[in-house]
Amino acid sequence: MKNTTIGILCAGDDELAPFLPWIEHCQISERAMLKFYCGQLEGFPVTTLFSGVCRVNAAIAAQILIDTYHCDVMINTGTAGAIQSGLNIFDTVVSTATAYHDVSADILTDFHPWLSSLYIEADPHLLTLARHAAKQVSYPVVFGRTVTGESFIDDKEKHRILQDFAPLSVDMESAGIAHVCYVNKIPFLAVRTLTDQADHSAPELFEKNCQRASAQSADFVRQMLRLWATHGA
């Protein structure tokens, strides 16, 4: 189990920053204009980085983590915007399944990679770890479906997404990373803490809340790894 290499993929530098002081024996390398940090975290070999925002950047990073750094597990961590009412800023969302909210429904079911539905499911074992970790932390953690698109959304777009998908939250990378993991048969999980309500005020609130939300997501991932190290797979 301790030979499992874990890829921790963040979109932005604020989302990556909490992990860096925790990584032991850290070595830095570069591929595709990206900087990869390799070392040990809670006894596991890990490689982490920030990919830059948007699905293509995240997908590039995910494939490099798999091909070059031989990651067996992928965890996407960072921030998101709330879609469902009843969620609060700084709630942590664990995605049980993720989909693109801006891709035609049949593109990925009728063509490669021939998904059985719009949603790419999270890994069951990682979800179990997350559910146990949620009992150990002091902040709210919720589980449910999430969606990904290429930009911040406005109020009209939020209403459409809520009607079509009813997700908990929206982000700009998770489904792209899940897509890469699906075709490579790599277990995947996304953990994101809410910075805003995914509306016209989102960009401003994201800037205000990003560091705290990123630190909370990172703490949750670390708690998952501690449980995995203690109790095994």
Give 99-135 pLDDT, tens digit per residue.
999 898 889 888 889 888 899 999 999 999 999 999 9
123 is catalytic: no
Establish whether 204 is a catalytic residue.
Answer: no
What pLDDT, on a 0 to 100 scale, did the predictor assign at position 169?
96
Tell me the pLDDT band of 233, cut-offs 50, 70 and 90.
low
For a pLDDT cut of 90, what percent of the chain falls above it?
80
Rounded distance between C-alpha atoms, residue 139 and residue 125, angstroms: 22
- pLDDT-derived band at 199 (thresholds 50, 70, 90) equals confident
Catalytic residue among 15, 91, 171, 173: 15
Catalytic choice (14, 171, 173, 196): 196
Taking the CA atoms of residue 124, residue 194, residue 176 and residue 58 in that order, the dihedral angle to the nearest 10 degrees is -120
pLDDT of residue 150: 86
pTM higher than 0.85 = yes
Residue 146 has pLDDT above 80, yes or no: yes
* Per-residue tokens: 15: 């989302």
- Those residues with Cβ within 8 angstroms of residue 136's Cβ, 6 or more apart along the chain or in another chain: 223, 227
**What domains sit in the chain, N to C, each tagged with a CATH number?**
6-231 (3.40.50.1580)
